[in-house]
Structure 1
Amino acid sequence: MKIEIKLRIAATDDGFCEEEILSLDKPHDRLEAIGLSLAEAKGVLGRLQEHIIAAQAATLAAERRCCAQCGRAQPSKGRAVIRFRTPFGDVPISSPRLHRCACDAGKSKTFSPLTEFFSEHVAPELLYLETKWASLVSFGVTVDLLKDVLPVGSTLNAETVRNHLHRTAARAEAELGEERPSFVEGFPPMWAKLPIPEGPIVVGIDGGYVRARDGTQSHFEVMVGKSIPEDRDNRYFGLVQSHDDKPRRRLHEVLLEQGLQMNQDITFLTDGGDSVRNMAVAMSPCAEHVLDWFHITMRLTVLGQYAKGLAHHNPREAEDAARELKRIKGYLWNGNHRRALPCIEWLVDDLDVVETDYPSMKAFRKAADEFNTYIANNAGMIPNYAERRRYGERVSTGFVESTVNVVVGKRFSKRQQMRWSKEGAHLLLQTRTRVLDGTLRGKFEQWYPGLSGNKSASQLETAMAA
């Protein structure tokens, strides 16, 4: 059974060109031979792409052949080849070079209209695909994936994909406004006149660590977060604190995209660290900062384990410490840090005078002292957790702990011990967070409006049927 596929391109309303692009001799009695194979489909798409781009480039060159001022044809000086990278292969484009008309006082005597038009040699759709998949899996796996399903150019490699992702992220970075110490705008009478906001927003921020490529340090910290509005889509954000010089601006832009107003109720759940806490300061006059209950209980659990170890050496002192820890936890759960702090100080003093051969006693005392400092520094962020829980409000950043794993762990490959530069990790975080919350495509459509006009499958089927 022989199948011939022909391509017909209408260059003008009155004329067209027709050419056979593929001839197949396929059996009809074998299941694996039914329909196009992946290799055959890639061949068809590649040939189609070449012909379509050639027709578009020829039409564009013809339109710009004449001088825009006087309308006279500009003589040709020669031709060059432009290689345009697309999802369906690298396409060579014949680019004419023209002598500039005498009435056009340009800087050069000759020019290439197609070179001026093709300011980028990578198709936006390919750039989007590379950025999307490289944000989800490794650069090498992205190359293998694209080569498996698309007739992309054979020269595509991991370094090229990485460079394209960095270019995309850098373009988005360039659109960020200037950093400011405060993003609170206006004054109370003005806020009262604003429309009622759609609903409260809960923002959780936490940190993680990535292995550093630079030999001066083994790891560096990355900060990630998740913004959860009551009735809008969630958003992720991430940054490398020691590299980014606009952390507050970055968070503010995420909140603006979710409809932030100055009368918006916002709750920031953090671990109490200075860098995380300072990032969320002065973001909104209606902001509430809450110390994450998870991080309090995590420290109390560690102290409880030390107390259990002490019980094998000093049972009475261990029992007193465990009782005091239970009391401290109860005070903190009910937001009573004024009573909790003296209890923590008594615990620290009591541990200092315990005489024991418990080998971890020094670590026990140090952990208790650090917990005392931690609660004292964050006392103003300790609410009544019990009351919040009764009203269905969040008291823990458990959702942010999972965000750290989703954003950092699953791409920065903790198990594989991959190493990263601060700039590379920061740029990848910008694209990965957009891929995870589904806003990367919208950003590309903002840069290239024509992408939003691509026909859907149903529209294409209607056009083909007609």
Structure 2
Amino acid sequence: MEFELRIVVEKVAISTQEVVERNTLKTYDIEAPQSILELGLRHAEQISLLSKVQNSILAEQCKLIRKDHKTCPNCGGKLGRNGTTKSKFHAVFSDHQLTIQKHRCQNPDCRWQQSSTTNAVFGSNIHPDLAKLQCEQGANFSYRQAQENLEKINTCHRSINNHTQISRLSAQVGEMLCQQNLMTPQSEECAEPVESIILQVDGGHIPIKEKQKRSFEALFAVAYRPENLQPIDNNHRTIVDKSCAISAREDNLETMKTYVLNTALKQGLNSNTIVTALADGAQNCWSVIQALQPHCKHIEAILDWFHIGKKFQPLLNSLAENERESLENAKWKLWHGQATEALEKLTILRNQIKDQKQKSKLKALQDYLQGNQKYLINYEQRQQSNQTFTSQVAESHIDSVINARHKRDGKMQWSREGAHNVLQIRAAMVSQEWQNNWHKAVLPALGVVA
């Protein structure tokens, strides 16, 4: 016996269960699949079927749009029908045309007419799920690559997914998150008050559009509770719960300081909290960290060992063996908290070296350590007591949040505000707050009731 499958949509009266309308969307022959390609529906067929289902639902919903509008909002007179409007609606996988009823006031002295486009009724002709997907693509990929990715998902080109639309929407949503991040978090957004928080602040450089300038700096911070820094294996650790902040704005660090405070509050910062803060030694990072002083019990500021190692390594690679041994001894002194002795060894080594280029690099290292001497600690002791002494984990965030998006394409250049907006989306993703922020900050700003 041969069969076929029919995908049918039925409109049924709830009270009587009578089928008042039936439409066959698609008919499929039932045949033995000759290959896995014939097993089930292909990607494009699935989207095509979904589009037909959407059309059936939308047709019925459109009949109910503004059905209860009886009186004129202008004069209170009676409204009468005034034809229909064809208007676009963009769902996640398909585009549709809605037929929406128009109304006009029957009072001859008023004659008010109602706009009946999708935008007029709902504030947008793009479904929020599509807008969210576009933002996620725009935050993770170049805008043109995001367009290509969405075309692959949809199996076709859709004008609503063009790179200009993705760029515009990403900037719009990023600005909404900027405003949200400036607001003091509500109590339900914050962890219980804690005794200790770790804060790591670092910077990453982004290629700039301005002529005669190569880049500008974005500051990144991650705050977390000590118990949330957990081992993956003997050599690697990960932060399982964190709050992140990032700013590319040039405003004397005011935005970044506010972001960092709110980020720390989410992790449980209070007046009794001791903040362990690590930075690479840049003055702007220390300035951001010290802005927390009025809000906590004490700040233990540490020049992080990861960046110290990065300063030493190029010199170690370039020096002769006997000179390299002297430099290793200076580094060993630093590791054991003997900063004065380490600086003395660097001075002796500088006097011994003849190469002016190496001499200059050694002086730069010495200046770096002297400028940050009050932040140097006994790193070996902290390691033995299982206390944080390096921002290596945060450095990986710089790669994932800034470099992966803003330096992936060497030809890409950014304005400060454009980069800042996109970075807000990426920071929300890294903090695992994107879903919550989308519902709390973005949808209301778009006029959508979730």
Correspondent of 1:250 among 256, 259, 262: 259
Establish whether residue 389 from structure 1 lines up as the match of residue 397 from structure 2. no
TM-score, length of structure 2 as denominator length: 0.80
Matched with 1:143 is: 147
Q: How does 1:46-445 map to 2 (within 5 A)?
A: 46-66=51-71, 73-100=78-105, 109-112=112-115, 115-150=119-154, 154-155=158-159, 156-177=161-182, 197-198=193-194, 200-229=196-225, 230-231=227-228, 233-242=241-250, 246-283=255-292, 284-285=295-296, 286-308=298-320, 319=322, 322=324, 324-348=326-350, 350-351=351-352, 356=354, 361-414=355-408, 416-445=410-439
- 2:90 & 2:67 partners in 1: Cα distance? 22
> Cα gap change, 1:55/1:282 in structure 2, threshold over 3 Å: closer, same or farther?
same
8 Å CA contact 1:139–1:158 kept in 2: the answer is yes
1:149/1:414 CA distance change after superposition, 3 Å: closer
Q: Distance in 2 between matches of 1:26 and 1:73?
A: 53
Note the C-alpha offset of 1:292: 0.9
- Report the CA distance between 1:388 and its aligned residue: 0.8
- Provide the secondary structure at the position in 1 that maps to 2:96: strand
Code of the aligned partner of 1:200:
S
Distance 1:6 1:362 in 2: 83
Cα deviation, residue 270, structure 1? 0.8
C-alpha contact (below 8 Å) 2:207/2:414 kept by paired residues: yes
1:6 correspondence with 2:8:
yes
> In terms of mean alpha carbon deviation, does 207-216 or 408-417 score higher?
408-417
Deviates more, 1:121-130 or 1:420-429: 420-429
CA offset digits 1:371-414 (Å, max 9, x no partner): 22212221121122121111111211211222222223332344
Kindly provide the amino acid, as one letter, of the partner of residue 254 in structure 1.
T
Letter of the 2:427 counterpart: T
State the shift of 1:56 in Å.
Answer: 2.5
Question: CA separation in 1, counterparts of 2:66 and 2:310?
Answer: 67
Q: TM-score, normalised by structure 1?
A: 0.78
Equivalent residues of 2:85, 2:101 under 8 A apart: yes
What residue is the counterpart of 1:314 in the other structure? Answer: none
CA distance in 1, matches of 2:411, 2:105: 57
User: What is the distance in 2 between the residues matched to 1:376 and 1:158?
Assistant: 48
CA distance in 2, matches of 1:121, 1:453: 15
Structure 1, unaligned stretches of length 5 or more?
Answer: 184-194, 312-318, 455-466
Give the secondary-structure state (helix, strand or coil) at the position aligned to 1:88.
Answer: coil
Q: CA deviation at 1:18?
A: 2.9
Work out the CA distance in 1 between the residues paired with 2:41 and 2:316.
Answer: 65
Aligned residues of 2:276 and 2:302 also touching (Cα < 8 A): yes
Question: How many positions carry a matched residue from both structures?
Answer: 419
CA distance in 2, matches of 1:196, 1:175: 21
What one-letter code is carried by the residue in structure 2 that aligns with 1:261?
A: N
CA distance in 2 between counterparts of 1:414 and 1:88 reads 28
Deviation at 1:53, TM superposition (A): 2.7
- Give, as a single letter, the amino acid of the residue that structure 2 aligns with 1:24: T
CA distance in 2, matches of 1:149, 1:122: 17
How do residues 20-31 of structure 1 correspond to structure 2 at under 5 angstroms? 20-30=23-33, 31=35
> What SS class does the counterpart of residue 9 from structure 2 fall into?
strand
Q: Does 1:40 align with 2:45?
A: yes
Distance across 2 between alignment mates of 1:341 and 1:163: 52
Give 1:345 shift: 4.3
The secondary structure found in structure 1 opposite 2:66 is: helix
Contact persistence 1:212–1:419 (CA under 8 A): yes
Q: Answer whether contact 1:210 1:414 (CA < 8 A) is retained.
A: no
Decide whether the 8 Å contact of 2:69 with 2:79 is kept in 1: no
**Cα distance in 1 between the residues matched to 2:272 and 2:347:** 39
2:385 and 2:42 map into 1 onto residues whose CA distance is 58
